[in-house]
Copies of this chain bind each other. A is one copy, B any other.
Amino acid sequence: MAARQPQTATEQSPEPTGQVDLGLLGNLLGYRLRRAQLAAFQDFIIAMKDYDLRPAQFSVLAIIAANPGLKQSRVSEALGINRANFVALLDELEQRKLARRAAAPGDRRSNALYLTPKGESFLKDAYQHLLQTHEKRIETALGNTDKRNLQDLLDRLAAL
């Protein structure tokens, strides 16, 4: 680096600090959304380290818990997870004995999904821990009123 000729103000920076000019990107709301979402997911993953649970895995467990017996295709559809990824995700949850597939009545091509008793209690524990760590950090960062405002704004965007 020492022998390098600085070309621009940015290149003079001795370390890759991430202080990069966003240019046009900074004007697009979608970019801000993506950065905030990545930060929230990173924080979720840290909070769930001892549970070894990623956001998508939590989502699947929560949807199955709230809709026991729902068909596999409808769970993946509700979460917008593509079929190949969903099968791999479910395989892992089955191997960990948290969820199980069963024949869907009247539809041999599809599976109905259920949590195991172990899965039920695992989800409950994980959720309580998330509330006390991840979700509390978000509330602290935003405050309760702004958190509710943000929820409303996000829901309006989700309906784009």
A residues near B (Cβ < 8 Å) are 1, 3-5, 7-8, 10-11, 16, 18, 20-25, 27-44, 55, 58-59, 62-63, 65-71, 73-75, 77-78, 80, 105-107, 123, 127, 130-131, 134-135, 137-138, 141-142, 146-147, 149-151, 153-160
Inter-chain contacts of A157 with B (CB < 8 A): 36, 39-40, 138, 141-142, 150
Distance to closest chain B CB from A33 (angstroms) = 4
Q: How far is the CA of A155 from the CA of B130 in the complex (A)?
A: 22
Distance to closest chain B CB from A157 (angstroms) = 4
Inter-chain contacts of A27 with B (CB < 8 A): 131, 135
Task: Give the number of times this chain occurs in the complex, counting copies.
Answer: 2
B153 & A138 in contact (Cβ 8 Å cutoff): no
How would you classify the secondary structure of chain A's contact residues: helix, strand, loop or mixed? helix
